[in-house]
Structure 1
Amino acid sequence: MPSFSRRLVPAGLAAVLAATSVLGAAPALSQTSASATAPASVPLIPGADYDASVPSVAQALGYDSGARISRAADVRRYFEALRAAAPDRVAMGDYATTHEGRPVFWAAVGSAANIARLDQIKANSRALADARVTSPERARAIIADQPVIVWLMYSVHGDEISPADAAMAAARHLLASRDPAVQQWLANTVVVFVPTQNPDGRERFLNSNASGFGTEPNPDPLSAERDQLWPGGRFNHDLFDLNRDWFIQTQPETRGQAAAVRDWRPQVLVDAHEMGTDETFFFPPEAQPLNPWIYPATLESRELIGRNTARRFDQNGIPYFNRQVFDAFYPGYGDGWPGYLGAISMTYEQGSARGLAARRSSGEILTYRDTVRNHFVASLSTIEAASANHDRLLNNFYAYGADGVSGRGAYVLSRSAWDPGEADRLAGLLVASGVEVGKAEAGFSACGKSYPAGSYVVNLSQPQRRMAEVLLAKDVAVPAAFLAEQERRRARGLGDEIYDVTAWSLPLMFNTPADRCASAPVVNVTAATTDRVIPRGIADVDAAYGFLVAPGFGASQLMASALRQGVAMRTMDKPFTHAGRRWPAGTLVIPRAGNPADLTAKMTSWAATTGAEVVGAAESWNSDGPSFGSGDAVAVRAPRIALAWGDPTDPTAVGATRYVLEREFGYPVTVVRTNNLADADLSAFQVIVLPQGGSYRGVLGDAGAKHLKEWVDNGGTLIGLGSATRFLTDPASDMLASRRENAAEAGDGSGASDKARVDGQLIASLADYEKQVGDSQHGPASVAGVLARADVDPDHWLSAGVAPSLNVLVGGSDIYTPLKVGEGTNVARFASADDLLMSGQLWAQNRAQLAFKPAIMATSSGRGWIIGFAQDPTTRGYLDGMKVIFANAVFRGPAHASPNW
């Protein structure tokens, strides 16, 4: 790779415009954020010698690399131009279609010989990944003729714009450069580009950028072209952060690319991002903490590649940093999840111009061309390092799978008595992460226990042992030295350095029992598939009275579908015995009388698609408990749901809540801009959900709070999620009598007050808790994200069909005082300090103060209900164990209201 000197960019805008080749023509808003006509192709590496038969970006798109921010469609158009120019050295394919209908694609670049045998190369890579079927001798023979697969992913966040343009420049360099070194790279590697992982978000950013653009780029931090309106371009259409979706795979972009990565099994993978404008460039080694399940050779190879990138950056005068800010602990990132498939996976981060030019706080001007060039250099240096270390990388890849096969033991996933279908959902999700899962064909013994047929077994003697361990372990320990440093920082009043959540155990999040056994059970199993629903038939399908549906996630889906189609039903608030079987609270009763003639066909279809357990009832007689015609059998009606949208909501929180309701439960919502809730006629809605976010008080004001309270009193159900509960507990809103606590001192505690926050209090025992709720009379440290146990009040309708305890993802610093008798119900309260923490790192002060505090609160108000979740149950769409109680709030809440409209 030729070297070139760093260009010091002056602060003057005229120099910026000259450097970026942006002229003063009128903006062509329909095509790009600026109408700039570049001179004949100016290479990002001066002096590079290119084959003219391979088109440059300027020739294909009309502007030079870095002179404009390319539209997603233009990025694809350019790669198609490269394929047309070099069809023997470029292959392309789609792996997903976004919610807005845009294809997401990969483009493989290599030598003609390698592109001609791509299927064999992929098969060889999969063979190297499994030492059970590939002997060391066979592995050596494969490696001798196998290129390293380098998977380069760009712009997963839509407003992280430069990586996609860098991808085009890098692909062209590989195909057009006459440098003999590049030809050697292509002999040793196949490079797979994923140029735009999030085209929907990119287009949202570009539309915002174009709407604020004037006659020339404005680098001011406050300029409209760089100031994104809510929700910004970072997220995909569903407002998900795709970089945190890899093991839960809720979005089509992630599901498609995860499947493609499992198919190709790359040895090197880069996820190219942008960060704050004042930053330079980051590449590994990463910051602490490092996940202990990372394969040691992976860390060594990351440093090896990083040292090569540092050498190239030094040659070109590009500043960088590593071992700071970005850790490698959470396995759900784009650079995390693939690492547990054996890839050397890495994040690259470039300080962003968020447009064509940005003024840093130092006064320097950062241009878009600078950011494109830096990612371009990083991409090429990665390919160069992969080529130079061909044998080492492939041998380590084979060793990774062999290390997995040498594992011992197994995880056994049992079916929960409260929601047995969750085990099926969890098993399918694990298979989507490449983990081998077996469904036991007979009962068996393991871990000193007996398990029934149908339990799932994850044998840890498999290539993906580390993937299984990191996703299924109850807790992944944060290194002790790192924690000691965080405590030292906290003692000095400094913030901690934890970047993301410290807990993600899938069995805990799915509320599914899981045991890790020292040895694998001896039982025949059937391989599980990626299907997350096991279709059920209907028992006693021709029963005369109607149908009973056991509660759970599948039942919530069935209920939502049935409500949409006008099917009448009731939900039982208390358990009962029918035809010799004990049914729990939350059971749905769907009679034939008053329902469509094709009810049996509908129920059969819903049982198959949701996995809900449906049983025919010959009669309505119950031998114990409430009857189907009693007041404990509450009619469920189809509610109209409004979801707050826009400021001050957190876009990802809105996206996750809407995703759970619309895509998982299949029930539509109306998104309403939050400020309109202050004075609009809300009588058409039975439910309003306020997602986690900022100051609702600041947006709605006193009049808006009063308007919402009047709507509740007339029969509405108002649900606050996470930090939105601050609005409900604010004394100025006067909706929930609970108050948010300050940091506690032992012995303090004054209960509710007329202030938005009150002194914190420690509750040392259940007796203390019961005493406090019976009496009518600066915040805690922020938590990155832990799983904490909350015990559920079994007598409240909101807990119908819910497990006796839930695992709540706790983040931030919000802790609330319990509601007192007569003020409402603490439907779920956190466990004692000794039993509270299920997984993750929780500061001792928070652990003591969170004990026995409410996780979910509910109170009746007039004819309606107010429900506050202290933590967001829909976060990232991955808390399956919390979704049933959230569905109860949304669908059963209106059933327990008495609206007068």
Structure 2
Amino acid sequence: MKNILVALVLLSYSFLHSQDIKSPSEFLGYELGTEFSRHHEVVDYYEYLAEKLPNNIKLQYYGKTNERRPLFVAYVSSASNISNLETIRTEHLKSTNSQTVPDKAIVWLSYNVHGNESVSTEASMQTIYELLTKKMNYLENTVVIMDPCINPDGRDRYVNWYNENRNSPNNVDPNSKEHNEGWLNGRANHYMFDLNRDWAWLTQVESQQRLKVYNTWLPHIHVDFHEQGVDSPYYFAPAAEPYHEVITNFQRDFQVTIGKNHAKYFDENGWFYFTKEVFDLFYPSYGDTYPLYNGAIGMTYEQGGSGEAGLGILTKIGDTLTLKDRIAHHFTTGMSTVEVAAKNTVKLNEEFQKFYTNRNFKYKSYVLQGDAGKIDALTKLLDQHEIKYGWTNATTIKGFDYSNGQTKSVKTKDASLVVSTDQTKGTLVKVLFEPNAILSDSLTYDITAWSLPYAYGLDAVASESKINATATVNKPATSVLQNNAYAYLTNWNSMNDARFLAELLKENIKVRFTQKPYTLEGKKYDRGSLIITKSDNKNNNNFIEKLTTITAKYAKTLVPTTTGFVDGGNDFGSSSVHMIKNNNIAVLTGSPTRTLQFGEIWHFFEQQLHYPVAVLEAEYINSSDLKKYDVLILPDGWYGRFLDKEKLAELKDWVKNGGKLIAMGGAIKGLEGENGFAIKSKEIKKDSTATDALTTYDDTERESIKNYITGAIFKTKVDHTNPLAYGYDDHYFTLKLGDDAYEYLKEGTAVYLEKNTNPMAGFAGSEAKKKIAETLVFGVENYGHGQVVYMVDNPLFRGFWENGKLFFVNALFMVD
């Protein structure tokens, strides 16, 4: 009785005080929807609510962005639930191993992952106000977790731009400047990364910090609020095919349940909407799929608008779409979601428990082996996802061999990594590690292959049996450097080695590398192996101390030698042993580059390689600027207008005089032609006897996919004697994102596709496969005293294709 009375008192207290809180419009000083709120104003409102209603709302700051803006979530529920929040959380997580069946629903609402899809943060303020006033009954058996802005840096970039460029009053003419963002738009985060494609790869600080909190809850429902084109009606679940096969029948059906509830409210208001189209549930790194693979009902909601819409814009049919309209739609689906959750608490808890218990995957264990640096990079990702792993001794395992796509017996080495699906995160393990995800429909919204063994360049076997593994592995001891050594030697295989080199160069420690393999004192050193001599560094103060510190930092093993006279191969004074230049590197930015691809490069230098790079604005670059740099990187983009005859001539002169040009993706097209370099697009000769079959209007889209490659993995051949390919074996698995095709270089082809172009994983259309047969992937053209490095495929794709990154570093330092 006492507990009941306490609960009633708390409920009464919360209800009375909820009547006193200010609405967003009252607090902000302007009517919601008539201005865009800056991030600090949003923070202020949530802090105000938490201060006024501490029994119903609790804030948790979980980190900061690159630009130091706060990241936080708000827990919203009844007073009783907030006072028992930790107990609710722990009881909920116990249901993943069948210990309990709780009675509370956990709903997580994520807003503004894309900065210029700015309406959802505004809608979040209206949503939390409504929950704390008129709809507190939803909160009796529901905990709502709200992240008001996943991407504050991108959002403030957009809001500030809009406030600077809007008309007063705002102009609904789509041609007005306020509806046309420039190159540096607000969609992405500080480093120009798309945070909605980073849930699984965790390359960005926002994703890394958010997932720590997400893993402490694993909600029943997760909603990711977005915007799309101005003229598009509202989209909500159920989603389009393909659905990944691990998505359960309940997860499918409950999307329909929620969608029908949304439709009820939209129908009442006469609002247009669509479902079951465009937005599928396959690629694992979205804000809907990643939660799905962790047991939630993951959904994307898309409102028409985005950065183009501003405070109001005329649509093609002559209607005016306002920010108030957009807020109303997102507010409605958000409230509808919480309502459905509150009415289905029992079912959500029962099915959540089933998700974690009713699993029977074909492959029970994935066994991986390879370079220690690559294994270490993968285990760090697994730790972030709270995926468990272990280690096995040398043995023979029968299973699917990733290297050749066959089932056979494979011998493993000691300390091979084992990741099993028999664990809490087993479904996520299957999705991330499976050799080739099953596609129910080849029309997809994103890439169709991502398997981590390919992405990390590791030899792997998928076994149908569970492989026993130990929890720990013995790691080699850190090197103790000897003062009397002639040189210190180490291998070159992974990004850990690249970071080690970058730090040495920043400390002005001189490093050499070998272009020929050699043996010394019974150990073989491959091409690219690093040689750090005492003689080269005799004028570097505290050389041994610096080298010792850097070696320990990267857990490198340095082998000391007292001689430069090798047992087999070329001595250290040979012309095949080159000094690595501490290059002055620049990357082009602005138009004509793609923002996301520029961001990948920028982030790579600053957050992965930790090596300085100058960012050159394309609009102001000229030949005199280039003389200051040893390397210039042209990110993927559209270079037709930029690389006119005059600029191309300047680039050629710069390269001829010793510069190194790295052209990626679309930048290569700008370098070919009669005034360009030697690179040539592959021409496809049409069969003169073939006739074009007529295609019905309905079949046009589906018929066109035969010309596309939607992010498929291909096995390529590697010339590992080429400096661009040092550290690689004779094959490499590339992630191909399109059908751009270039002929082999007469000299300098480092990585290439042969005749067989069937992908190892993912979808590739029949015509696209023909086009890319016998074409270049990566290569080097020597031009005068310099080089042009061509990267047809993207080795830095979204920051997660780990095994491509060493090609990029080789282009920076090994190609000379």
Could you tell me the TM-score, scaled by structure 2's length?
Answer: 0.91
Contact 1:154 1:163 in 2 (8 A): yes
Aligned-pair CA distance for 1:675 = 3.1
- Indicate how the Cα distance of structure 1 residues 270 and 50 shifts in structure 2: closer, same or farther if over 3 A, else same: farther
Structure 1 position 827 matched with structure 2 position 781? no
Matched-pair contact (CA < 8 Å) for 1:403–1:463: no
Count of aligned residue pairs for this structure pair: 773
Deviation at 1:433, TM superposition (A): 2.3
Find the partner of 1:375 among 330, 338, 362. Answer: 330
Question: Alpha-carbon deviation of 1:426?
Answer: 1.3
**Which aligned pairs between 1:221-236 and structure 2 lie closer than 5 A?**
221-236=174-189
Q: CA deviation at 1:130?
A: 2.3
2:382 is aligned, of 420, 423, 430, to: 430
**Who is 2:5 aligned against?**
none
1:565 equivalenced with 2:507 (yes/no) = yes
User: Is 1:625 aligned with 2:569?
Assistant: yes
Contact residue 67 and residue 368 of structure 1 kept, 8 A: yes
1:707 aligns with 2:650: yes
1:356 and 2:297 aligned: no
Q: Indicate conservation of the 8 Å contact 1:535/1:610, yes or no.
A: no
Match of 1:411 in 2: 365
Q: Match of 2:814, SS?
A: helix
| CA–CA separation in structure 1 for the residues paired with 2:551 and 2:476 | 6
Residue of structure 1 equivalent to 2:686: 745
1:464 aligns with: 425
Identity percentage over the alignment? 30
Pair 1:187-2:129 in alignment: no
Return the offset for 1:431.
3.1
For residues 525 and 74 of structure 2, the distance between their equivalents in structure 1, rounded to whole angstroms, comes to 54
Q: Is the 8 A contact 1:109 1:115 kept in 2?
A: yes
Shift of 1:539: 6.2
- Distance in 1, matches of 2:278 and 2:80, equals 42
Q: CA deviation at 1:642?
A: 0.9
Change (3 A) 1:870 1:335: same
How far residue 569 of structure 1 moved from its aligned partner, in angstroms, is: 0.8
Cα pair distance change 1:859/1:548, threshold 3 Å: same
Report the Cα offset of residue 744 of structure 1.
Answer: 4.3
Matching of residues 712-861 of structure 1 within 5 Å:
712-732=655-675, 734-735=676-677, 737-745=678-686, 781-820=707-746, 824-833=747-756, 836-861=758-783
Describe the superposition over 1:760-782 as per-residue Cα deviations: whole angstroms up to 9, x where unpaired.
xxxxxxxxxxxxxxxxxx99923
Question: Residues of 1 paired with 2:125 and 2:285: CA distance?
Answer: 27
1:389 aligns with 2:344: yes
The AA in structure 2 aligned to 1:475 is: N
- For 1:156, the equivalent position in structure 2 comes to 113
CA distance in structure 2 between the partners assigned to 1:109 and 1:78 by the alignment:
14
Note if contact 1:560-1:666 (Cα within 8 Å) is conserved in structure 2. yes
Matched, 1:590 2:532: yes
**CA offsets per residue over residues 78-106 of structure 1, 9 Å max, x none?**
10011111011111112221111111110
C-alpha distance in structure 2 between counterparts of 1:472 and 1:683, whole Å: 46
- The one-letter amino acid paired with 1:728 is L
Match of 1:446 in 2: 397
Number of the residue aligned with 1:77? 44
| 1:35-114 superposed matches below 5 A | 51-114=18-81
Secondary structure of the residue aligned to 1:698 is coil
Alignment of 1:405-554 (within 5 A): 409-416=363-370, 419-440=371-392, 442-447=393-398, 448-479=409-440, 482-483=441-442, 497-526=443-472, 537-538=478-479, 541=482, 544-552=485-493, 553-554=495-496
- State the AA in 2 paired with 1:877: G
| Residues 1:785 and 1:110: Cα distance change in structure 2 (over 3 Å) | same
1:784-819 per-position Cα deviation (integer Å, ceiling 9, x unaligned): 211112211122222122232111111122111122
Task: Kindly provide the CA deviation profile for residues 616-667 of structure 1, in whole angstroms up to 9, marking residues without a partner as x.
Answer: 2232221011111111111111111110100010000000011122211101
- The answer to whether residue 527 in structure 2 is matched with residue 576 in structure 1 is no
Task: Determine helix, strand or coil for the equivalent of 1:607.
Answer: helix
Q: Identify the match of residue 220 of structure 1 among 155, 170, 173.
A: 173
Using the alignment, how far apart are the partners of 2:526 and 2:688 within structure 1?
40
The answer as to whether partners of 1:643 and 1:689 remain within 8 angstroms in 2 is: yes
Of residues 794, 804, 815, the one that matches 1:872 is 794
Opposite residue 332 of structure 2, the aligned amino acid is: V
Q: 1:802 to 1:527 in 2, by over 3 A?
A: closer
Cα offset for 1:543?
5.7
Q: Deviations over 1:166-213 (max 9, x none)?
A: 001000111122xxxx23310111101101110000111112212211
Distance across 2 between alignment mates of 1:219 and 1:600: 66
The SS at the match of 2:188 is coil
The 1:51–1:64 alpha-carbon spacing in structure 2 relative to 1, beyond 3 Å, is: farther
Counterpart code for 1:740: S
Structure 1 residue runs of 5 or longer lacking an equivalent are: 1-47, 484-496, 529-533, 749-777, 897-901
Amino acid across the alignment from 1:287:
A
Contact 1:106 1:193 in 2 (8 A): yes
- Give the TM-score taking structure 1 as reference length: 0.83
CA contact (8 A) 1:742 1:780 kept: no
Residue equivalent to 1:753: none
Distance 2:556 2:259 in 1: 50
* Aligned twin of 1:692: 636
> Does the Cα contact within 8 Å between 1:714 and 1:862 map onto a contact in 2?
yes
Quote the residue 1:29 is aligned against: none
Residues 94 and 680 of structure 1: is their aligned pair in 2 closer, same or farther, counting only changes over 3 Å? farther
Letter of the 1:429 partner, please give it. L
Does residue 663 in structure 1 map to residue 615 in structure 2? no
Give the distance between the partners of 1:677 and 1:150, measured in 2 at CA. 50
2:553 and 2:110 map into 1 onto residues whose CA distance is 34
Aligned CA RMSD, in angstroms, stands at 2.2
Q: CA 1:503 to 1:630, structure 2 compared with 1: closer, same or farther past 3 Å?
A: same
Matching residue's letter, 1:806:
Y
Instruction: Tell me what 2:4 maps to.
Output: none
**Partner Cα separation in structure 2 for residue 848 and residue 781 of structure 1:** 9
Residues 361, 829 of structure 1: alpha-carbon distance in 2 compared, 3 angstrom cutoff: same
Residue matched to 1:652: 596
1:21-68 CA distances to partner (integer Å, 9 max, x unpaired)?
xxxxxxxxxxxxxxxxxxxxxxxxxxx999541111122111122121
- Relative to structure 1, the CA distance from residue 547 to residue 746 in structure 2 (aligned partners, 3 Å threshold; closer, same or farther) is farther
Partner in structure 1 of residue 234 of structure 2: 281
Query: Is the alpha carbon distance of 1:438 and 1:71 closer, same or farther for their aligned partners in structure 2, counting shifts above 3 Å?
Result: same
User: Is the contact between residue 721 and residue 873 of structure 1 (CA under 8 Å) also seen in structure 2?
Assistant: no
How far the C-alpha of 1:746 sits from its partner, in A, is: 5.8
Alpha-carbon offset, residue 296 of structure 1: 2.5
CA 1:282–1:82 in structure 2 vs 1: closer, same or farther (change >3 Å)? Answer: same
Q: Which moved more, 1:616-625 or 1:557-566?
A: 616-625
Paired with 2:778 and 2:368, the residues of 1 have a C-alpha distance of: 27
Contact 1:444 1:523 in 2 (8 A): no
User: Are 1:342 and 2:295 matched, yes or no?
Assistant: yes
Q: Does the Cα contact within 8 Å between 2:255 and 2:297 map onto a contact in 1?
A: yes
Render the CA deviation track for 1:497-533: whole Å, top value 9, x for unaligned: 32111111111011111211111123433399xxxxx
SS in 1 for 2:291: helix
Deviation at 1:542, TM superposition (A): 5.2
Tell me the distance in 1 between the aligned counterparts of 2:372 and 2:774: 28
Q: CA deviation at 1:572?
A: 0.8
Distance 1:501 1:743, change over 3 A: farther
Change (3 A) 1:779 1:699: farther
Alignment-mate amino acid for residue 152 of structure 1 = L
Q: Which amino acid aligns with 1:710?
A: D
